[in-house]
Structure 1
Amino acid sequence: MSTDVRDLLQGYFNALNDRDIRACLSLVSDGLILQPNQGFTEHGRDAFAAFLERQLLCYREMIESLVILVEPQGQHAACEYRVIGEYLATDDGLPEACGQRYEMRMGAFFEIQGGLIARISLHFNLPDWLAQVDG
């Protein structure tokens, strides 16, 4: 089971790197719960699609050094990775974008149900990111 979850999550991160919203959406459940580092919890595939569209508009990111840890039952997983990015368009409530480049470590926690991602919880050091783009 953990191999299936690893493949699912590897596919998810590959789709993010490819900037392929459709592929990302095909890997999540209709009732997906998205818990971003900052902001409010979002519910559903449509809300996730809007989140991804905003991400693609505002940021160009590449995920590297991905580590996937899956618990034996295959219902929970944790990932750590490095993001190399460029801030393309100003995101709501954040500094003005002008192509600033940044690098950061991120973590994400996942719940898996029925072979799909049912919850994504994202974590990163916002003050560090702000220092990189607002300097």
Structure 2
Amino acid sequence: MSDNSQSAAALVQRYYDAFNAGDVPGMLACLSEDVAHDVNQGGRRTGKALFGEFCAHMERCYREQLTDIVVMPSADGRRAAAEFTVNGTYLSDDDGLPPATGQTYCLPAGTFFDIADGKITRVTTHYNLQDWIAQVTGTGA
């Protein structure tokens, strides 16, 4: 693995370590000022401030831990992908989604990253929303 590739993998791992520790400032420290954040089945938010607002919303509505994280950097270190399992609890109603009653869920997810100058410049996360809805409503997948 090249030095650039190793650096990219380490940066993404620091981001996820901060996520699992509930350390939003630690996550933000991994991001560029103008980070592009593509929300699953949603729009793009640009900038650390909006990313921080998203994190605050997520902390209010969900408690999540990521396990089985596998980070896959490109050889040049300019991009990376990560696959993981989201283990969560739905804490508080989120707009447009079913009511929260403390339901738990477990689903596979992945994120794509762009990296420049030692910072993450894009975060694009994907998971199966219909699977999540089926789990929190008890309707099966």
Pairwise TM-score range, normalised by the shorter structure: over 0.9
Q: What is residue 96 of structure 1 aligned with on the other side?
A: 99
Q: What is residue 112 of structure 1 aligned with on the other side?
A: 115
C-alpha root-mean-square deviation of aligned residues, in Å? 0.6
Q: Distance in 2 between matches of 1:11 and 1:91?
A: 28
Q: Distance in 1 between matches of 2:6 and 2:52?
A: 26
Where do 1:1-135 residues align within 5 Å?
Answer: 1-135=4-138
Unaligned runs of 5+ in 1: none
Q: Deviations over 1:87-132 (max 9, x none)?
A: 0011111111110000000010000011000000000000000000
Q: Distance in 1 between matches of 2:74 and 2:42?
A: 27
Q: Distance in 2 between matches of 1:92 and 1:114?
A: 36
1:131 partner letter? A
% identical aligned pairs: 39
Q: Distance in 2 between matches of 1:100 and 1:118?
A: 33
Deviation at 1:36, TM superposition (A): 1.0
Q: Distance in 2 between matches of 1:9 and 1:109?
A: 10
2:24 partner letter? I
Deviation at 1:65, TM superposition (A): 0.3
Q: Deviations over 1:14-55 (max 9, x none)?
A: 111011111011110000000011211100000000001111
Q: Distance in 1 between matches of 2:10 and 2:75?
A: 15
User: Taking structure 1 as the reference length, what is the TM-score of the superposition?
Assistant: 0.98
Q: Distance in 1 between matches of 2:63 and 2:36?
A: 23
TM superposition outliers: structure 1 runs of 4+ over 4 Å: none
User: Taking structure 2 as the reference length, what is the TM-score of the superposition?
Assistant: 0.94
- Give the aligned length: 135
DSSP-derived class of the 1:51 partner: helix
